């Protein structure tokens, strides 16, 4: 499955819920409440919104790449970017984890802040790995399953006995394995999928934002849009079901050998 998502996860030690202060800290003070959405709906909103939810004593900000682009792609090594500094001022003793991936560009990355210091940054794009700091526990568990040959790290999977995987192909394993540190669950699993259906987020948008124009595409009517969304959602459900049935079948066959 092609994942596209961008999140900032904040350890919520003291039950913080001042979303106005949170929006101000990340430079979105003018954003206004728009609607309530599910976790699944805001993993990749595509509307330049900020979506805020709570789970596992953590604050989850689905930011549509607006914050993570600074924490990851535009990062200056382990130096804090302005948005990160503002969040640290609100949560000086908490862990702050920025995580993002985009399957189209074979990109994934994450940055971990502990007690005000960025201790880890890793970005993988088009097979190039850029990293600063030492891998933390969740990363080390994934790296422990790999091997190195000619300076390149590989992973082998029993379910896929062909060519080994390189690090850029391990996008989901790293993205959601790392996010599990604060979410408490891997989103790329059945339990993770259930979680995305059961958490309600509050969506905030810029009231003055101009709608994007797509002149080369026919605009759908509301009725057509509803039908399209329903069809897309059922296709996604079907993919999950087929994927997990195939994996279970392959594992069963391998155990019988």
Q: b/e for 102-140, b at 16 or more Cβ within 10 A?
A: beeebbbbbbbbeebebebbbbbbeeeeeebeeebebbe
Count of CB atoms situated within 10 Å of the CB of 183: 22
Q: Over the stretch 137-193, which tens digit does the pLDDT of each residue have? A: 999 999 999 888 888 888 888 777 778 888 888 888 999 999 999 999 999 999 999
Cα distances from 145 to residues 57, 165, 173, 209, in angstroms, run 30, 11, 11, 46
In DSSP terms, 95 is beta-bridged to: 114
pLDDT of residue 167: 84
**Chain length of the chain:** 257
User: What Cα–Cα distance (Å) separates residue 207 from each residue in 32, 36, 124, 131?
Assistant: 7, 16, 34, 37
Place of tokens 């399953």: 145
Given a cut of 50, whether residue 220 has pLDDT beyond it is no
Give the pLDDT score at 235.
45
Residue 223: both structure tokens together: 């009725």
Q: Hey, which of 59-68, 148-157, 163-172, 206-215 has the most confident mean pLDDT?
A: 59-68
Average model confidence (pLDDT) across the chain: 85
Say how far apart CA 34 and CA 92 lie, in whole Å. Answer: 29
Closest CA to 78 of 18, 131, 139, 10: 131
- Please give the torsion angle defined by the CA atoms of residues 154, 160, 163 and 169, in that order, rounded to the nearest 10 degrees: -50
Q: Evaluate if pTM is beyond 0.85.
A: no
């Amino acid at each position: 499955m092609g994942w596209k998502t961008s999140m900032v996860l904040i350890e919520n030690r003291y039950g913080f819920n001042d979303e106005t202060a949170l929006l101000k800290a990340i430079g979105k003070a003018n954003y206004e409440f728009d609607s309530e959405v599910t976790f699944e709906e805001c993993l990749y909103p595509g509307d330049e919104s900020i979506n805020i939810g709570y789970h596992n004593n953590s604050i989850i900000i689905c930011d549509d790449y607006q914050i993570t682009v600074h924490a990851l792609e535009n990062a200056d090594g382990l130096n804090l970017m302005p948005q990160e500094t503002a969040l640290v001022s609100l949560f000086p003793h908490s862990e702050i984890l920025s995580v993002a991936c985009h399957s189209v560009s074979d990109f994934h990355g994450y940055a971990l802040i502990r007690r005000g210091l960025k201790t880890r940054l890793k970005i993988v794009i088009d097979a190039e790995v850029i990293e600063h700091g030492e891998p933390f526990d969740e990363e080390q568990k994934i790296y422990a399953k790999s091997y190195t040959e000619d300076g390149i790290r590989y992973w082998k999977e029993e379910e896929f006995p062909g060519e080994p995987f390189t690090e850029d192909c391990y996008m989901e394993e790293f993205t959601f394995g790392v996010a599990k540190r604060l979410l408490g669950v891997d989103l790329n699993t059945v339990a993770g999928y259930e979680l995305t259906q059961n958490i309600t987020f509050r969506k905030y948008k810029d009231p003055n934002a101009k709608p994007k124009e797509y002149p080369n595409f026919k605009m759908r009517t509301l009725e057509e849009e509803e039908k399209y969304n329903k069809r897309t959602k059922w296709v996604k459900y079907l993919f999950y079901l087929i994927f997990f049935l195939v994996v279970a079948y392959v594992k069963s066959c391998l155990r019988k050998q």
